[in-house]
Amino acid sequence: MGASALPVLIFTAFWGVVGIVLPFIIPKGPDRGVQQLVLMMTAATCYLFWLCCYMAQMNPLVGPRLNQHTVLIMAREWGNPLL
Protein backbone atom coordinates (compact mmCIF):
# COMPACT_ATOMS: atom_id res chain seq x y z
CA MET A 1 0.00 0.00 0.00
CA GLY A 2 1.79 3.07 -1.18
CA ALA A 3 -0.43 5.65 0.46
CA SER A 4 0.43 8.24 3.05
CA ALA A 5 -2.07 8.96 5.74
CA LEU A 6 -2.18 12.73 5.74
CA PRO A 7 -3.70 13.55 2.35
CA VAL A 8 -6.15 10.67 2.64
CA LEU A 9 -7.29 11.88 6.02
CA ILE A 10 -7.54 15.49 4.98
CA PHE A 11 -9.56 14.76 1.86
CA THR A 12 -11.79 12.24 3.54
CA ALA A 13 -12.44 14.64 6.38
CA PHE A 14 -13.05 17.59 4.11
CA TRP A 15 -15.52 15.87 1.81
CA GLY A 16 -16.97 14.04 4.77
CA VAL A 17 -17.81 17.35 6.40
CA VAL A 18 -19.32 18.67 3.18
CA GLY A 19 -21.29 15.54 2.45
CA ILE A 20 -22.31 14.36 5.90
CA VAL A 21 -22.09 17.19 8.43
CA LEU A 22 -23.25 20.15 6.37
CA PRO A 23 -26.51 18.49 5.23
CA PHE A 24 -27.56 18.34 8.87
CA ILE A 25 -27.01 21.98 9.59
CA ILE A 26 -28.82 23.35 6.58
CA PRO A 27 -31.58 25.68 7.75
CA LYS A 28 -35.11 24.47 7.32
CA GLY A 29 -36.89 25.60 4.21
CA PRO A 30 -38.84 24.35 1.25
CA ASP A 31 -35.67 23.45 -0.67
CA ARG A 32 -33.86 21.75 2.19
CA GLY A 33 -34.06 18.32 0.60
CA VAL A 34 -32.58 19.49 -2.66
CA GLN A 35 -29.83 21.39 -0.87
CA GLN A 36 -28.92 18.34 1.15
CA LEU A 37 -28.84 16.20 -1.94
CA VAL A 38 -26.68 18.73 -3.75
CA LEU A 39 -24.15 18.77 -0.94
CA MET A 40 -24.09 15.01 -0.60
CA MET A 41 -23.68 14.40 -4.28
CA THR A 42 -21.02 17.07 -4.60
CA ALA A 43 -19.04 15.46 -1.82
CA ALA A 44 -19.53 11.96 -3.22
CA THR A 45 -18.53 12.80 -6.77
CA CYS A 46 -15.59 14.99 -5.84
CA TYR A 47 -14.28 12.55 -3.28
CA LEU A 48 -14.62 9.65 -5.69
CA PHE A 49 -12.81 11.60 -8.36
CA TRP A 50 -9.93 12.50 -6.10
CA LEU A 51 -9.79 8.98 -4.68
CA CYS A 52 -9.58 7.35 -8.11
CA CYS A 53 -6.76 9.65 -9.11
CA TYR A 54 -4.94 8.97 -5.87
CA MET A 55 -5.38 5.23 -6.02
CA ALA A 56 -4.40 5.04 -9.67
CA GLN A 57 -1.03 6.48 -8.67
CA MET A 58 -0.57 4.47 -5.50
CA ASN A 59 1.18 1.60 -7.19
CA PRO A 60 2.52 2.80 -10.51
CA LEU A 61 3.17 -0.08 -12.87
CA VAL A 62 5.52 2.02 -14.97
CA GLY A 63 7.55 5.10 -14.29
CA PRO A 64 7.52 8.22 -16.41
CA ARG A 65 9.86 8.09 -19.41
CA LEU A 66 11.59 11.41 -19.81
CA ASN A 67 13.56 13.09 -22.52
CA GLN A 68 17.13 14.02 -21.59
CA HIS A 69 16.34 17.73 -21.83
CA THR A 70 13.39 17.28 -19.52
CA VAL A 71 15.59 15.43 -17.08
CA LEU A 72 18.10 18.26 -17.11
CA ILE A 73 15.45 20.89 -16.61
CA MET A 74 13.82 18.87 -13.84
CA ALA A 75 17.20 18.56 -12.17
CA ARG A 76 17.63 22.32 -12.24
CA GLU A 77 14.11 23.49 -11.48
CA TRP A 78 12.78 20.85 -9.11
CA GLY A 79 15.90 20.63 -7.03
CA ASN A 80 17.25 17.23 -7.98
CA PRO A 81 20.93 17.97 -8.29
CA LEU A 82 23.00 15.90 -10.69
CA LEU A 83 25.03 13.25 -8.96
List residues binding another protein (CB under 8 A): 1-4, 6-7, 10, 30-34, 37-38, 41-42, 45-46, 48-50, 52-68, 70-72, 74-75, 78, 80, 82-83
Calpha distance 12→43 (Å, rounded):
10
Three-state SS at 2: coil
Nearest approach, Cβ of residue 32 and another protein (Å):
6
Nearest approach, Cβ of residue 25 and another protein (Å):
17
Nearest approach, Cβ of residue 41 and another protein (Å):
4
Are the C-beta atoms of 22 and 42 separated by less than 8 Å?
A: no
Are the C-beta atoms of 4 and 55 separated by less than 8 Å?
A: no
